[in-house]
Amino acid sequence: NFVHGDLHPGNVLVQTTTMNSDTTTSSSTSSSSSETSKKGAEKYTIVFLDAGIATSLSPRDQQNLIDLFRAVIFNDGDKAGRLMVERARHERCSQVEGGVDAFAAGIDSIVSDFHDRRKEGLTLGTVRIGTLLGRVLDLCRIHGVEIDPAMATIVLSTLVLEGLGRSLDPDLDLMHLALPFVVSWDNMRRLSQSQFLQVFHHWLLGF
């Protein structure tokens, strides 16, 4: 439960190992470089530097993140938006035109867009997580919903890693990588039977 507190391209190295039929070579390059060898199959290892600044999520923040993620997984953007307001440490959403309903509707629209794109494949080349997160942050600014600093660090780290991942492999399937976490026993055992079936049909079968 540690989050790098100063994650920028200069603090990320990509170690590449090229597997040739005769030899195996390895090298380390800065994340700012997108050039890779095409001679053989490559294996990437991500190396994080300068971890002196780190943060961690409190049990409360962890639960908030799990609940928010679950609402997004179930395509319930309205609930996700209301959770963000309900659990924000400071918010003035009720003082802004439209109030909580307007904010929740905005989050619901973003989550729906995400799920619509998911049907066409969740690759780094087709889904811009940074754009979606940017829309969320804009809504939070407009409606006065404060983002917890620990959560903000996760958002910024996600933006950095998304760009890095796209430069390395734009065809990387996010769904394939996320499945072990989405369907992990630790998470699934907390779901009701109907919720489990919803996850199975919606994510694994694509409808």
Which residues are identified as catalytic? 6
Please, how many CA atoms are within 13 Å of residue 151, restricted to the half-sphere of its CB? 22
Phi, psi of 33 (to 5 degrees): -100, 130
Read off the amino acid at residue 181. Answer: F
Helix axes 77-86, 99-118, angle to 10 degrees: 130
Task: Give the integer Cα–Cα distance in Å for 79 and 90.
Answer: 18
Do residues 10 and 30 lie in contact, with contact meaning Cβ atoms separated by under 8 Å?
yes
Task: Give the integer Cα–Cα distance in Å for 92 and 121.
Answer: 37
Helix axes 149-168, 59-73, angle to 10 degrees: 50
What is the dihedral sign for C-alpha 151, 154, 160, 165?
Answer: negative
Q: Which residues have C-beta within 8 Å of that of residue 3, sequence separation ≥ 6?
A: 54, 55, 56, 57, 150, 153, 154, 157
Q: Can you say how many angstroms the Cα of residue 176 is from the centroid of all Cα atoms in its chain?
A: 14
